[in-house]
Structure 1
Amino acid sequence: MTASAESLYGVDDLTHLEGLEAVRKRPGMYIGSTDSRGVTHLFNEVVDNSTDEGVAGHATRIVVTLHADGSVQVDDDGRGIPTGVHAKTGLSGVELVLTRLHAGGKFGGSGYKTSGGLHGVGASAVNALSLRLDVTVKRDGKVHQMSFAHGEPGVFDGPGPKAKFVRQSGLHVTGKMKRGEATGTSIRYWHDARYFEAGAALDTEAVRTKLRNTAFLVPGVTYVLRDATGGSISEETFHFPNGLADMVEFLSPAGDRPVCGTLVVTGEGTYKENVADENGVMQSNVERRAEVEVAFRWGTGYERTIECFTNTIRNVHGGTHRKGFDRAALKALQEAISKTRGLLKPKEDMPTLDDVLEGMTAVIHVRIPEPQFTSQTKDELSTAGITKVIQGVVERQIKAWAEDRRTRTEAKTVLQKIVDAARVRLTQKQQKDAARRKTALEGAAMPAKLVDCRTTGVARSELFLVEGDSALGSARLARVSEYQALLPLRGKILNVQKASLADTLKNAEIASIVQVLGAGTGRTFDLSAMRYGRVILMADADVDGSHIRTLLITLFARYMRPVIEDGRLYAAMPPLHKITTRGRNPETIFTFTQREMEQTVSRLEKAGKQVVTPVPRFKGLGEMDAEELWETTMNPATRSVRRITLDDVEAAEAALELLMGEKVEPRRAWLVESAERVDQEAIDA
């Protein structure tokens, strides 16, 4: 580093931000953002402090007023912020918590067993980012008041933030409490728009949601919202004596009929963590106690709604309590499914967490001392020990519910829903995999074994699906390369009448056919995109060849039916025998059946011709030379082909299902009943 560079950075460049200046310098660090969410977070910090009084059992009513001038006021009937003088700082309790960061009654003292507050930053951050903040505390028979401008204590000579302000420290007693008047705290603040983005404002609907949710979580407290922002005052009251059960009912999607009643799970547990004592010394493995309350039910729909809270604070991103709930629900319900006969078929996969949560509406609420969050906005709980606590409580009670005689029928209905969800998920996955596979096939390069033709039009072009590589050699020499293409098939393709689309497209031979034709499969099959004018099935003239033709016809009928409907699928008719005569004018005649061969030999012998015996029989296409294959099977002028049609679709469907479908019994019965129709002598053995 050069000397000139060193001189650019010295001790004078170091800045120490004191008091609330740090909040004003980096507000996003303390309230999450500087848009409307940040403005709403200020309100959350104030109302959460009042809620902590309700959770502790000291407040029963909290009133929120949204004034026409943009200010927000929160009144509670709790104990009131302590007003005495703090020995160490010399400040009143009110001034201490509103002007000093990391000050408050929620750091492990006796004031609160559990609370939403964590860092002692919330109230002071609101004060730091406000034009004016007024606080009134009713406590010890007296009414105490204090005001702040930009976080500085003092006195305003009139209403609103524009009134003249004089700095002045100290809490003032302005009167005595009336007989029977409740204690409590009232805070009214005007946020400073300079620290927020243009247009940022308090989200009234978010305020309403916050109060409603908290009323569900703290059933002993009534919340009142008075909205005067529209000129006239509207008032809403939120009070839900059934707590989380009411919240599940409220959160359930409209029209979603419940599959079971709402399960309410409550319990306690302990966990250990390292905690700093009053002197800042870390204490290892300090035992903590957690209170767990969970309510959930399943509906007939598919949406899941799971809300998580810690000490009444909503955790948008869940956290360790959500993790514990997920583990418990999955383990307990998988165990219940495995113990219930008839739910899962043999070799069927066990449902996953997504299946378990499908259609579930749940609320998870834990109360713990000094919770740890991933940020000041408390969007995600990070206290590690809570995972096992909630897992244990929830798992035990779900198992008991599934085994209890009174709820066993209800539980089985839920278990069946979960199993059905797993089956649907797997079916959809198979369909997606098949679609991806199909797309990949259609976009892939042509298979190397394709012997393509030169023409690009479909008027004359034809594709021969050739049984076996041995026949390919003769067919390659016999074909007219201008318009005849060859695709050899190895062995018998999959019986698609029994298989799913995913399994069908996994078959290498079928995949090659789909690629080469280039028109897709199923509903997306596009006949106009097919690369050839005709498809000719060229298999041996024996039983195996007939089976291969049947399998290929089944493939086209199920996944490429337009080819048949348009009359573009044919079956080649290769000869079975080759009859030759001796003499001055030798003849060569090809026959296609045993009976035709015998009749032809008889006719020739009666005509005085000498037939070469025994008459040779072709065991396969590969035994023909190129000239014979061309003349008998591939030459459009001399060959015989059979067009495959669907004149009676219903009858064809029934025949395919009977002969190629999954059900064996109907096929066996048909074979037995039809045995007498078989000509024993015509069997090609």
Structure 2
Amino acid sequence: MPDRSPLAGASRSWATSVWGLFVANALSSRLTAEARCGGVRRVQEHARGVALAPPAAVGPTGTRGTTVAFWPDAEIFETTRCSFAVLAERFRQVAFLNRGLEISLTDERPAGGARKVRFRFPEGVRDFVAALHAETDAALEPDVIAFEREDPRMAGTREVALMWGGSREERLRSFANSRFTREGGMHVDGFHDGVAAAVAAWARSRALLTPQDASPGADRIGEGLTAVVSVKLDRPEFLGPIRGWLGGAEVRACVGEAVREHLGAWFEERPDRAAAIVDRIIRDRHRE
């Protein structure tokens, strides 16, 4: 069988740098991948997903990084014209999800001159939540709650940022390995579990809820909440017809535990802000 992988004959560092190219490679009439690592520049050429030769060292280099050039296959796509706006939004999203990563996009097609955008967000998902909240045209609340933790039980990391604002809707974006999980998944369920547990625990400690009262539901906790939940996993379990839902019971448990602990600690450190948030949730609950 023909070798359709850009990894054939490659070193581990080369394999890591081009691991995400399978789909682009299969959908391109031509693809060139270049990796610069360890003082060596390596190049591999593909045509319609088939490697024309193993990766070849073509000379020395003093830089590090990966460059990929590909031409969408006109026999597969109705159009091969790329949308600058769509690409820019996706690159902006990836930059948010990978703190400190710098991505630039240049469109050399316009006759009046090239268009270029650059994205870099030093605070990662914290900046993402602030940007999502700003889209509501509401005044920016003073506190974005954010944390990142690694957990071997889920073989990955959890990065979460959230804030409550003045709107009545929930704005939540979830991702797994920087991929948008349109249908949600266990990481989203774990996030809701953790927020509900932290809110209920703080409310009961202040006698805002009695032991007999049920905990507020996700609908009440989510009012005015803007959040980003991002997990990066060694072995993600994508489910559903378009693989837009993330599975894994351990992911739910680990995310829920981390959110409950971090948000609970934040409530204890900022009792005035916690009181305003929890009182609104409890007050709205009693109006039902």
TM-score scaled by length of structure 1: 0.38
| Cα distance in 1 between the residues matched to 2:283 and 2:171 | 19
Within the candidate set 162, 171, 178, 1:296 is matched to 162
Q: CA deviation at 1:354?
A: 0.5
Same amino acid, percent of matched pairs: 23
1:393 match: 258
Q: How does 1:333-482 map to 2 (within 5 A)?
A: 333-341=199-207, 343=208, 350-374=215-239, 378-404=243-269, 407-423=270-286, 426=288
1:92 aligns with 2:12: no
1:267 aligns with 2:184: no
* Matched AA of 2:21: A
Within the candidate set 192, 196, 204, 1:330 is matched to 196
CA distance 1:399–1:190, change in 2 (3 Å): same
| Cα distance in 2 between the residues matched to 1:399 and 1:235 | 43
Structure with more of its chain in strand, by fraction: 2
SS across alignment from 1:358? coil
Instruction: Say whether the 8 Å CA contact 2:200–2:209 is kept in structure 1.
Output: no
| Cα distance in 2 between the residues matched to 1:370 and 1:358 | 33
Long gaps (5+) in structure 1:
1-17, 22-80, 83-90, 98-103, 106-110, 155-168, 272-287, 427-685
| Cα distance in 2 between the residues matched to 1:423 and 1:130 | 57
| Cα distance in 1 between the residues matched to 2:10 and 2:147 | 39
Instruction: Say whether the 8 Å CA contact 1:20–1:125 is kept in structure 2.
Output: no
CA distance 1:369–1:151, change in 2 (3 Å): closer
| Cα distance in 1 between the residues matched to 2:244 and 2:92 | 18
* Matched AA of 1:410: R
SS across alignment from 2:239? coil
SS across alignment from 1:295? strand
SS across alignment from 1:415? helix
Within the candidate set 191, 201, 219, 2:72 is matched to 191
**What CA deviation, in whole Å up to 9, does each residue of 1:645-674 have, x standing for no partner?**
xxxxxxxxxxxxxxxxxxxxxxxxxxxxxx
CA distance 1:297–1:375, change in 2 (3 Å): same
| Cα distance in 2 between the residues matched to 1:423 and 1:20 | 63
Cα RMSD (Å) of the superposition? 3.3
**What CA deviation, in whole Å up to 9, does each residue of 1:97-121 have, x standing for no partner?**
9xxxxxx95xxxxx69xxxx9xx6x
Instruction: Say whether the 8 Å CA contact 2:3–2:51 is kept in structure 1.
Output: no
Q: CA deviation at 1:337?
A: 2.2
Q: CA deviation at 1:238?
A: 0.8
SS across alignment from 1:240? coil
| Cα distance in 1 between the residues matched to 2:213 and 2:241 | 46
| Cα distance in 1 between the residues matched to 2:215 and 2:34 | 59
Within the candidate set 40, 46, 54, 1:148 is matched to 46
Aligned residue pair count: 285
Long gaps (5+) in structure 2:
none
CA distance 1:227–1:388, change in 2 (3 Å): same
Q: CA deviation at 1:223?
A: 1.0
TM-score scaled by length of structure 2: 0.84
CA distance 1:349–1:370, change in 2 (3 Å): closer
| Cα distance in 1 between the residues matched to 2:235 and 2:252 | 16
| Cα distance in 2 between the residues matched to 1:229 and 1:294 | 38
2:130 match: 249
1:236 match: 117
1:314 aligns with 2:180: yes
Instruction: Say whether the 8 Å CA contact 1:20–1:124 is kept in structure 2.
Output: no
* Matched AA of 1:92: G
Moved over 6 A (4+): none
* Matched AA of 1:413: A
SS across alignment from 2:249? coil
Q: CA deviation at 1:171?
A: 4.0
**What CA deviation, in whole Å up to 9, does each residue of 1:44-96 have, x standing for no partner?**
xxxxxxxxxxxxxxxxxxxxxxxxxxxxxxxxxxxxx98xxxxxxxx5328x9
